[in-house]
Chains A and B, each alone.
Chain A
Amino acid sequence: MSTQSQNDQDRLELLQGTLDLLILRTLILGSQHGQGIARAIQQTSDEELLVEHGALYPALQRLEERGWISAKWGTSANNRKARFYSLTSAGRKQLARETSKWNRLTAAIGRILESQEG
């Protein structure tokens, strides 16, 4: 993976507000710590998205305060102490809401763009 650093400039900056959605989506697969979430977002997006790891934590904090995720300290697969996040039921509902909103948004934008191309 030596190409990673050269590719940094080509990656997509996250749209405002989408990080929350990605975090929630990632956690639906099970509880995860911050570094794992960052990794998962990058891998699942085929390394297309640029997630500054530092930005992740205030976002996690915000989601936690809203009650959408909960956190507790535990040990990682390789026996490291880490703070694990998991979705709450409120978070699940929020994810559903946000996902449908996102789908409608992208669909609408897609339609506009296609009509102009065509």
Chain B
Amino acid sequence: MFAGMFQRMFRRERKATDFDAEIQSHIRLEEERLREQGLTPAEAHNRACRAFGNVTHAQERFHESRRWLFFDHFSQDVRFALRMLRKSPAFTAIAALTLALGIGANTAIFSMVDSLFLRPSPVAHAEQLTTLAFQRVGGDYDSIFSYSDFQDIRNQSAEVFSQVAASMDLRGMDGLSVNGKQEPIWTSYVSGNFFETMGLKPALGNFIEPASGKSVDDAPVLVLGYTYWKTHFAADPNVIGKSVLINGHPVTIIGVAPQGFHSISTFLDMQGYMSFGMASVTADASKDFFTSRKPAGITIYAHLKPGVTLSAAQSALSVIGRRLSSQYPLDDNWKSLLAYSLGPLSPYDDPSGPAIIMLMCVLFLFLTGLVLLLACLNVANLLLARASAREREMAVRAAVGAARSRLVRQLLTESLLLALLGCAGGIAFGRLGSQWLGSLNLNTTMPFVLDFQFDWRVFLYALAAAVLTGIVVGIIPALRATRVNLNDILHKSGRTSTARRQRARSVLVIAQVGGSLMLLIVAGLFVRSLQQAEHLDLGFDPHHVLNFTLDAHEAGYNDAQGRDFLQNLLSRVRALPGIETASLAAVVPMSFSGNDEELKIQGYEPPKNQPAATADFNAVSPDYFRTMRMPILRGRAILDSDTQTSAHVAVINEAMAKEFWPSSDPIGRQFMSINDVQHPTGSTAVVEHLSITVVGIVKNGRVVNFRRDFRPYMYLPLAQKYETPVTLQVRTSLPLASLNPEVLGLVHSLSASMPVFNIQTMTDALDTLPGLLLYQIGAALAASLGLLGLALAAVGIYGVVSCTASQRTHEIGIRLALGAQRVDILRMVLGQGFRIVGIGVLAGVLAAVAIARLVGNFLSGVSPLDPLTYLSASLLLAAIALFACYIPARRAMRVDPMVALRYE
């Protein structure tokens, strides 16, 4: 039966001419038969025809029986619509371009949302994959475990998880050298079963042995990330088996990860994978990596057993969590152990991480949606104007028997075609937009994925936007155009335009003014916020400072060698001519990197919702505060006398002093640092509690991000807290570019293989995501959307007012003939415009207030209800709108009454 259906579906359509030929043949056969019976040819013909009946009726029934009737009509509609669009190329071009801009803006933003949040992870059975997190006794969440935690959880959860794997990402860069050439590489250290758990197959070669990742004796092997293999090895298939150096240690490349697999996070592109065993060989993981219970930055992934629900796994984990934290109360101070589904956003993440980008995407999807709506309104307005011009055409077609549904379909086909034209243009614009977004320099060495490829989801989105657009744009004019009283139109001249249609167009313009005002206000807020941020007192002076980031670890130096090298470099750089000061720091302000530490402070009780006292910190060399021009308010700075063996000291910021010692002088006070990873004597499994003395207070500086409130921050001597990579910062009165080769030459004369990167001025270094970049992107995007909205609104208002004015030419002529002053006419036409713009502005302000909270997330130094922005945006829009009204109003004023009365 299905075969028959299939066959029929694809059978060639029988032509109408064939059917006609058959009828003719029938009549001839019948004639012949009748003639044989003795009738005359004429009689035979008449009789045959009579017996046949109505030929046209038979033909019609044949025609209607055809399956493609709908498509017949459709192709008719399309051909007619194409003809109509070709007939008015200016209208078509403007309408399609308007829609293309709207659809393009949406497509560009959506491509970002798609690649960051919607594109499924390339892992197999992603829906069964979970990530683990824990809640600390104090209440905050974290997902950073130790290797021992991983092992214990893996061994105790076999009932609910089929696989438990782990990885350690973003510990810092490694240096990969092939044939003497060194390149930075971001490697992930993983458990042996990592790739198996993700269900991945290598693009080339093999993955790490599933049995490895349990001890330092692992084979020194490396799996390359797909993109890295393409960019750094030119996709060479012979790379398998090649021996390279990672941080000076020989490793063998055994495989390439599959294309499309960046990392578990959609934001990062990990460039290489090695087993955990290598973490303490090639990387700086402590010797007790496999035994310590100190959190070591390990993320745990667990694959649910078939049939096990997340909540079942959850209850099993609670038991394990309680057991482990009672077994190791000091280290695993967990309140609970949790599992959550793998996704681009972790519910327990820092809200300033991916979540803020997601929120920004939501805001901009909304704003671009608004732009598209404005574009739709504009085109709908144009179509309404055309609809009045085509009123007679529609009436005539209805009069000769076209069904209303058929007319609506015809008009909708026209608007859909327009929208599809716009869609094609929009995809082109969208590509440009997403290429711009993808080419943004995030000013970081971190391997962020900014590859906003257009996949089928983006195309589908653009197409859906276009179809929706076509319907939104076409349905009102189509319904209006066909819901007319035939008699009215056919009997009167084209002068009559129903008041109802005018009202519809006015409402459209009000929506346009309101929408574009809202866009303008948001744009204004973003621009003001960027200005505020740029001129904010940072608490340090970024001008005339040049940064060079060095990684002694990548060059294969151990801690002692690294310290020597840096000490040596610093004294040489200070001797260069034109150098005011030079210093080293582990963290550059506004960069992605940052550390925080848990502190124990006598007499300080953390608030209920906070687990413990914590402070962000930077490790710096002497002279740091002079280089950054950060004033020491009390006590002293970090000095050369603060060495590895002297008493541990810290310089703290005002916020830290106020937070932890609100009523006493912090200078000379001591506190304990708990999570101290580095210990001078090395390999002990006991967590070291360092006692640190406060020696100075430095002015608050905006070093983490542009947010308003200052958090506790402390500066530790680099000599007592060795970190790598570090950034050499040089303050000079010379032009910064001239210093560049000199310092680089000096570095390489001391160590030829030392990687130097992020060579930039401190002012440029502020353009990062936590720094100014988000404000810059926001301002650029919002400003372009605001201008687009403004242009659309101006064109829309002009179109409506001038169209109304010209339709009232006759009336204006009568008024003038009856003695109205020209000023009265001007006032009348302008008055209409004023009313519409006034209502629109009010609507726009209210709409902007409604989304103020959302916008406020991205602003700094500006209230989302900033009256100045609201006022200036409203005035700007009103001025442009009124100017758009004034031109047609002036034209109306100049109407010659005689001409107007003779009109038509």
Contact of A61 with B25 in the complex, beta carbons under 8 Å: no
Q: Which of chain B's residues has its CB closest to A62's CB?
A: B65
B32 CB to nearest chain A CB (Å): 6
- Total count of chain A residues near the partner, CB < 8 A: 27
A75 CB to nearest chain B CB (Å): 10
The residue from B14, B21, B32, B53 contacting A61, defined by CB atoms under 8 A apart: B14
Of residues 34 through 79 on chain A, the ones whose CB sits less than 8 Å from some CB of chain B are 34-36, 38-39, 52-55, 57-58, 61-62, 64-67, 76, 78
How far is B29's CA from A83's CA once the two chains are assembled, in angstroms?
Answer: 11
Contact of A61 with B65 in the complex, beta carbons under 8 Å: yes
Contact of B25 with A83 in the complex, beta carbons under 8 Å: yes
Q: Give the contact-size bracket for chain B.
A: 20 to 34
Contact of B25 with A82 in the complex, beta carbons under 8 Å: yes
Contact of B33 with A58 in the complex, beta carbons under 8 Å: no
Contact of B8 with A57 in the complex, beta carbons under 8 Å: no
User: A75-118 interface mask toward B, CB cutoff 8 Å, 1 = contact, 0 = none?
Assistant: 01010111100000010000000000000000000000000000
Is B51's CB within 8 Å of the partner chain A? yes
Chain B residues, CB < 8 A from A55: 53, 58
Chain A residues, CB < 8 A from B19: 57, 61
Contact of A39 with B54 in the complex, beta carbons under 8 Å: no
Contact of A53 with B52 in the complex, beta carbons under 8 Å: yes
Of residues 372 through 411 on chain B, the ones whose CB sits less than 8 Å from some CB of chain A are none
B8 CB to nearest chain A CB (Å): 6
B664 CB to nearest chain A CB (Å): 97
B89 CB to nearest chain A CB (Å): 43
Contact of A78 with B7 in the complex, beta carbons under 8 Å: no
Is A25's CB within 8 Å of the partner chain B? no
Contact of B8 with A67 in the complex, beta carbons under 8 Å: yes
The residue from B7, B21, B53, B61 contacting A53, defined by CB atoms under 8 A apart: B53
Contact of B8 with A65 in the complex, beta carbons under 8 Å: yes
Contact of B58 with A54 in the complex, beta carbons under 8 Å: yes
Most chain B CB within a 10 A radius of its CB, from A38, A53, A65:
A53
Chain A residues, CB < 8 A from B29: 33, 35-36, 76, 80, 82
Q: Which of chain B's residues has its CB closest to A81's CB?
A: B25
Contact of A80 with B22 in the complex, beta carbons under 8 Å: no
B1 CB to nearest chain A CB (Å): 9
Name A's interface SS: helix
A47 CB to nearest chain B CB (Å): 13
Contact of A34 with B22 in the complex, beta carbons under 8 Å: yes
Chain B residues, CB < 8 A from A53: 26, 30, 51-53
Contact of B25 with A67 in the complex, beta carbons under 8 Å: no
Is A29's CB within 8 Å of the partner chain B? no
User: B20-46 interface mask toward A, CB cutoff 8 Å, 1 = contact, 0 = none?
Assistant: 011101101110110001000000000
Contact of A39 with B65 in the complex, beta carbons under 8 Å: no
User: B49-83 interface mask toward A, CB cutoff 8 Å, 1 = contact, 0 = none?
Assistant: 00111110110011001000000000000000000
With A35-B30, A53-B52, A76-B29 known to touch, is A58 a contact of B65 (CB < 8 Å)? yes
Chain B residues, CB < 8 A from A1: 37
B419 CB to nearest chain A CB (Å): 36
Q: Which of chain B's residues has its CB closest to A65's CB?
A: B8
The residue from A34, A57, A80 contacting B62, defined by CB atoms under 8 A apart: A57
Chain A residues, CB < 8 A from B54: 54
Q: Which of chain A's residues has its CB closest to B22's CB?
A: A83
The residue from B23, B25, B52, B53 contacting A80, defined by CB atoms under 8 A apart: B25
Q: Which of chain B's residues has its CB closest to A4's CB?
A: B47
Is B4's CB within 8 Å of the partner chain A? yes
Chain B residues, CB < 8 A from A39: 33
How far is B47's CA from A57's CA once the two chains are assembled, in angstroms?
Answer: 18
Contact of A33 with B58 in the complex, beta carbons under 8 Å: no
Most chain A CB within a 10 A radius of its CB, from B4, B23, B51, B61:
B51
Chain A residues, CB < 8 A from B51: 52-53
Chain B residues, CB < 8 A from A80: 25, 28-29, 32
Chain A residues, CB < 8 A from B26: 33-35, 38, 53, 57, 82
Chain A residues, CB < 8 A from B23: 57
Chain A residues, CB < 8 A from B58: 54-55, 57-58
Chain B residues, CB < 8 A from A65: 8, 65
The residue from A38, A57, A67 contacting B22, defined by CB atoms under 8 A apart: A57
A10 CB to nearest chain B CB (Å): 16
How far is B31's CA from A35's CA once the two chains are assembled, in angstroms?
Answer: 10
How far is B62's CA from A62's CA once the two chains are assembled, in angstroms?
Answer: 9
Q: Which of chain B's residues has its CB closest to A42's CB?
A: B51
How far is B51's CA from A65's CA once the two chains are assembled, in angstroms?
Answer: 25
How far is B30's CA from A52's CA once the two chains are assembled, in angstroms?
Answer: 13
Contact of A54 with B8 in the complex, beta carbons under 8 Å: no
Contact of B52 with A54 in the complex, beta carbons under 8 Å: yes
User: B252-279 interface mask toward A, CB cutoff 8 Å, 1 = contact, 0 = none?
Assistant: 0000000000000000000000000000
How far is B54's CA from A66's CA once the two chains are assembled, in angstroms?
Answer: 25
Chain A residues, CB < 8 A from B14: 61, 64
B728 CB to nearest chain A CB (Å): 84
B750 CB to nearest chain A CB (Å): 88
How far is B32's CA from A74's CA once the two chains are assembled, in angstroms?
Answer: 17
Chain A residues, CB < 8 A from B62: 57-58, 61
Q: Which of chain A's residues has its CB closest to B23's CB?
A: A57
B367 CB to nearest chain A CB (Å): 53
How far is B52's CA from A53's CA once the two chains are assembled, in angstroms?
Answer: 4
How far is B47's CA from A64's CA once the two chains are assembled, in angstroms?
Answer: 28
B414 CB to nearest chain A CB (Å): 33
B68 CB to nearest chain A CB (Å): 12
Chain B residues, CB < 8 A from A54: 52-55, 57-58
Q: Which of chain A's residues has its CB closest to B37's CB?
A: A1
A62 CB to nearest chain B CB (Å): 6
Q: Which of chain A's residues has its CB closest to B4's CB?
A: A67
The residue from B4, B32, B53 contacting A78, defined by CB atoms under 8 A apart: B32
Of residues 1 through 50 on chain A, the ones whose CB sits less than 8 Å from some CB of chain B are 1, 5, 33-36, 38-39
A24 CB to nearest chain B CB (Å): 16
The residue from B4, B21, B25, B37 contacting A33, defined by CB atoms under 8 A apart: B25
Contact of B7 with A67 in the complex, beta carbons under 8 Å: yes
B457 CB to nearest chain A CB (Å): 39
How far is B65's CA from A22's CA once the two chains are assembled, in angstroms?
Answer: 20
A63 CB to nearest chain B CB (Å): 11
How far is B23's CA from A82's CA once the two chains are assembled, in angstroms?
Answer: 9
A18 CB to nearest chain B CB (Å): 17
Q: Which of chain B's residues has its CB closest to A53's CB?
A: B52
A9 CB to nearest chain B CB (Å): 14
Chain B residues, CB < 8 A from A62: 65
Chain A residues, CB < 8 A from B37: 1
How far is B1's CA from A67's CA once the two chains are assembled, in angstroms?
Answer: 10
The residue from A58, A67, A76, A81 contacting B61, defined by CB atoms under 8 A apart: A58
A69 CB to nearest chain B CB (Å): 13
B70 CB to nearest chain A CB (Å): 16
Chain A residues, CB < 8 A from B32: 78, 80
How far is B4's CA from A67's CA once the two chains are assembled, in angstroms?
Answer: 7
A92 CB to nearest chain B CB (Å): 14
Q: Which of chain A's residues has its CB closest to B24's CB?
A: A81
User: Which 6 pairs of residues, A with B, have the shortest CB-CB distance?
Assistant: A54-B53, A58-B61, A35-B29, A54-B58, A53-B52, A52-B53
Q: Could you name 19 residue pairs across A and B whose Cβ atoms are closer than 8 Å?
A: A33-B29, A34-B26, A36-B29, A38-B26, A39-B33, A52-B53, A53-B26, A53-B53, A54-B53, A54-B54, A54-B58, A57-B22, A57-B26, A58-B61, A58-B62, A80-B29, A80-B32, A81-B25, A82-B22
Given A66-B8, A83-B21, 17 extra CB contacts under 8 A: A5-B47, A33-B25, A33-B26, A36-B29, A53-B30, A53-B52, A54-B55, A55-B53, A55-B58, A58-B58, A61-B19, A61-B62, A65-B65, A81-B25, A82-B22, A83-B25, A90-B4
